Amino acid sequence: MGKNKKYNGYKSFEYLKPGYDYKSFELADQLDRVKEYLVPLNQKQEEFVEEIMEDSLVISMHEHPVQFPSDMKEVFNYTREGRQFTAYEALSHSPLDAVFDNLMDGTCAITSKHGWKWNDVLYDLGMRLSDIAHQDYIVKCENVDDITKAYERGQLALIPTMEGAAMIENELDRIEILYGFGVRLMGITYSEANGLGSGLKEKRDGGLTAFGRKAVERMNKIGMAIDISHVGDVTCMDVIEESNKPVFISHAGARSLWNSRRLKNDKVIKACAAKGGVIGIEAAPHTTLTANNTNHSIESFMEHFEYIKELVGIDFVSFGPDTLYGDHVGLHHAYAEHLSIKGSHAGGNEFEEVDYVRGLENPTEASINIIRWLVKHEYSKEDIQKVIGGNTIRALKEIWY
C-alpha cells in the first residue's frame, strides 16, 4: 500500500447534478452495511500487518469495487441507467494499490434483457472511465509501470476487465478495440458457451473453437491477459495449451474441496500453474465452501488458498475475492439467471445460505483480512508479498506490453 493515500473526498459523478443530469438511487453504505469483522491479532502481529501493507504492492485479481442500491429491488433500474458508482472513499481505506475491475459484466443489461451486448459493454466502460477521469485518486492502468507508480503516489490503479467475450461475437478486431479502450484482461467465456468455447454451466464441453483459437492468438499478440475462471474444463485445458503466455484463473477455488462446477479441478489448476499462470481465490457468496466449513466465511476461503498453495506452490496463487459494496447475496438472487447461479454451481453439497461472507464483505474488508489471516497463520513476509501481489506482477510482466 503506497504512502499518503491521495483521495480528496471525490464522489462519483459529482460533476453532474443528480435528479437533473441522471436518475439517482439510494446506495448501500460503503463500509457500514454490516458489522465489520477483523481477524483477531496480538499487538506484535498488528505491527507486522502495518509493515506489510506499507512495504508491499497489494493487488486484487477480481473485484466489482462499486456501490449497489441499498434496496436490491432497484438493481435492474440502477443497471439500466448504465451509471455505476465507484466506491472511492471505501477503497481509500483499503491497502489496495491495484484492482482488476470487472465492471457490470454478467449484469450488463442496459438495453438488453440478457446482457453481454457490444453497445452495452462500451456504454458501461465509457461511463465508468468518464467518472474516473474527473478525479485523481484512481488511475486507469494500462501497464505494470502504472501499478508501481500508483503505489509510489498513494493512488489506486484500476484495470478494466471483462469476465467473458460473448460481446465480441465473431469480430476478432473487437479484442483490439477493447484493448484500445483500456481493457487488459478478458475471460474466454462467462458461464454460457459463446463463439470461443464452452462455459462452465454447459453439460457438454466442446472445447475451444477455431474462432476461439484465433482469439487466444490475438490476445497474446496485443498483450491482453486471458482469464478462464468461468470456462468449462475441456475449454480451460485447450486455452492453456493454445496460449503462449501465462493464463489467469482470476477468481475460483478447488473443486477437490467442494464439488461445484464453479470451482476448478486439480488438472486445470496444475496446468495453469505449469504455464506460469496465477490462481486467484474467489469469495463471492456460497462459492469457496468446504466440507470442514459449510458456512461461507474467510476460513473456508483460506482453506481453498492453502489447498491450492500445497498443490502448485506459493508462486502461483493469489486472491480475486469478487466482492462489492452492497448486498451480494441479494444481487445473486436478483440476477440468478443472468449470472447462471444454479447452472454454474451445480454439483455442490448442501449448505446453509449466509447473508454475507464474514470477513470478506467488500473489497476493503477482504483486502485487509487476507493479510491479517496470513500474518496470524505465521506466513513469512516474502510469501505474503508474493500472494497479495507479487505473483500477479510476475505474470503480467510476461503478458502485458
Confidence grade of residue 346 (pLDDT, cut at 50, 70, 90)? low
Taking Cα atoms as reference points, which of 312, 325, 307, 321 lies closest to residue 371?
321
Q: Is the pLDDT of residue 340 over 90?
A: no
**77 Cβ contact list (under 8 Å, min separation 6):** 23, 25
- Unique residue bearing C-alpha cell 446482457: 115
Please give the backbone phi and psi of residue 98, each rounded to the nearest 5 degrees, phi first: -150, 145
pLDDT value at position 342?
52
Q: Report the percentage of the chain scoring pLDDT > 90.
A: 90
Which has more confidence, 246 or 349? 246
pTM recorded for the entire structure: 0.96
Query: Cell 475491475 maps to which residue?
Result: 101
- 11: pLDDT strictly greater than 60: yes
- Which residue do the cell numbers 435492474 mark? 76
State how far Cα 194 lies from the chain centre. 21
Mean pLDDT score, 351-360:
93
Higher pLDDT: 107 or 258? It is: 258
- Tell me the three cell numbers of residue 103: 465492471
pLDDT at 105: 79
pLDDT, one tens digit per residue, over 82-133 is 999 999 999 999 999 999 999 997 788 899 888 899 999 999 999 999 999 9
Q: What residues have CB less than 8 Å from 296, skipping those under 6 apart?
A: 285, 286, 287, 288, 289, 351, 354, 357, 358
Q: How far apart are CA 185 and CA 293, in angstroms?
A: 32
Tens digits of residue pLDDT in 129-175: 999 999 999 999 999 999 999 999 999 999 999 999 999 999 999 99
Confidence of residue 215 (pLDDT cuts 50, 70, 90): very high
Q: Please report the sign of the dihedral spanned by the C-alpha atoms of residue 237, residue 218, residue 149, residue 164.
A: negative
Residue-level length of the chain: 401
Least confident of 112-116, 319-323, 393-397: 112-116
Q: Is the pLDDT of residue 338 over 60?
A: no
What pLDDT does residue 108 have?
Answer: 87
Distance CA 257, CA 101 (A): 27
Q: Which helix (H) or strand (E) holds 205?
A: none
Could you report the per-residue pLDDT of 162-212, keeping only the tens digit for each? 999 999 999 999 999 999 999 999 999 998 999 999 999 999 999 999 999
**Cβ atoms 83, 13 nearer than 8 A:** yes
Residues in CB range of 16: below 8 A, 6 or more apart: 22
Residue/partner pairs of 341-344 with CB below 8 Å, 24 or more apart:
343/191, 343/201, 343/261, 344/191, 344/199, 344/200, 344/201, 344/230, 344/261, 344/262
Show the cell assigned to 238.
485447450
Of the candidates 243, 234, 110, which has an alpha carbon nearest to the alpha carbon of residue 167? 110
Lookup result for grid cell 441507467: 81
Q: Could you give the domains of the chain?
A: 43-399 (3.20.20.140)
What is the tens place of the pLDDT at every residue in 41-63?
A: 999 999 999 999 999 999 999 99
Q: What is the mean pLDDT of residues 292-311?
A: 97
